Structure 1
């Protein structure tokens, strides 16, 4: 599970860094200067704990589904995303009148994250 949590951190760093970082910051209305450097370790620590919990719960889904290989693990991540993440997030973003492009960036990250974590966890069983 630790490996998949580390992978989630890598996916997040790429997603909100070189891939979509500038667009995401513009959509949420912040700049690099708005981030307090002393808060970064706390933020990353909190995210890592969240990734560990997510990996544990996803591993339970994979176990219950019998998804014991890379492809089936990734598919389990896809179904978890579609059933719980994408559907919950869309309503939140619509009622908050947040830009749909922001939804696509954030939901896309969650999808990429669950696919990678699912593939790793599925291949470990």
Structure 2
């Protein structure tokens, strides 16, 4: 895989995770929950039988973000780009790969456009945060 620096890989995933906590917490938590049909009572009650527990959801989300960060780190290690290109790669992944994939999924699920906007913007901003970590280590 080349000389991937694992510290920015881990910290990049952590930055993405923190953006998610803010995004789906204080910034867009209420409209996101409403658009997904979650009520306050449902949130307070926690997962129903057969649903994943919150700790597992958070762990898996972080592991997926770690995989994304590892791929970005691999591309950076293979090409040794300047900082502005690192940011172009990170934001580009979010805007031109992750967001369209999400959009296709949402189209077939007939999900609301507002929900797509919240989730797609999160992917782009999260990737920008991840890219910022890689730039700091470049």
Q: TM-score, normalised by structure 2?
A: 0.80
Q: Is 1:73 matched with 2:86?
A: yes
Q: Is 1:2 matched with 2:20?
A: no
Residues 26, 57 of structure 1: alpha-carbon distance in 2 compared, 3 angstrom cutoff: same
> Which of the numbers 34, 42, 47 marks the counterpart of 1:36?
47
1:88 is aligned to 101
**How far 1:65 moved relative to its partner?**
4.4
Query: Which runs of 5 or more residues in structure 2 are unaligned?
Result: 1-8
Q: Is 1:24 matched with 2:32?
A: yes
For residues 79-106 of structure 1, the C-alpha deviation after alignment (integer angstroms, 9 at most, x for no partner) is 1122211211212111211000000000
Q: TM-score, normalised by structure 1?
A: 0.87
* 8 Å CA contact retained: 1:62, 1:118: no
Distance in 1 separating the partners of 2:69 and 2:45:
30
Higher normalized helix content (fraction of residues): 1
**How far 1:122 moved relative to its partner?**
2.9
Moved over 6 A (4+): none
1:45 is aligned to 59
Flag the structure with larger Rg: 2
Distance in 1 separating the partners of 2:24 and 2:111:
18
Residues 35, 67 of structure 1: alpha-carbon distance in 2 compared, 3 angstrom cutoff: farther
Distance in 1 separating the partners of 2:69 and 2:46:
27
Query: Which runs of 5 or more residues in structure 1 are unaligned?
Result: none
Distance in 2 separating the partners of 1:73 and 1:107:
20
